[in-house]
Amino acid sequence: MLNAGDKAPDFTLSDKDGNMVSLSDFKGKKVVVYFYPKDNTPGCTRQACAFGLNYLKIKALGAEVIGISKDSVASHTKFADKYQLPFILLSDPELVAIKGFDVWQEKKNYGKVSMGVVRTTYIVDENGIIEKVFLKVKPDTNADEIIEYLGQ
């Protein structure tokens, strides 16, 4: 897992509209980068909707929101349209950012072990340095935690 003080790995991935977006595009701005397992699953939908509802508050606190999963661009497009998500969703099927941020890990679910995305949120500062790491985040409270942190 990456820690506060580490340089955030740069990445370039496709957004829901097929545009290429790099973390370095946001130099000079704080970025909330949250990794989640899968579009349209209950927890991921609640987390995305909470970020959507709080997006303007987060922007007002000087940060941009980027959600990343290994879902396809087409899946992200449907997900964003269905829930009217106003922030950036990036597709990472090759696990570039997911592995770069060390969130591709062994998971245990009902005794079954598999590899997958561990729900994690990073705040990257204006210089591309990880400022804060939220581990094992809860979908229902993650957006509120981010707002509380940014508002300090």
**Which residues are tagged catalytic?**
44
Strands (E) in the chain, as ranges, are 12-15, 20-22, 30-35, 63-69, 88-91, 104-109, 112-117, 120-124, 130-134
The length of the chain in residues reads: 152
Q: Under 8 Å CB-to-CB from 6, ≥6 apart: which residues? A: 129, 130
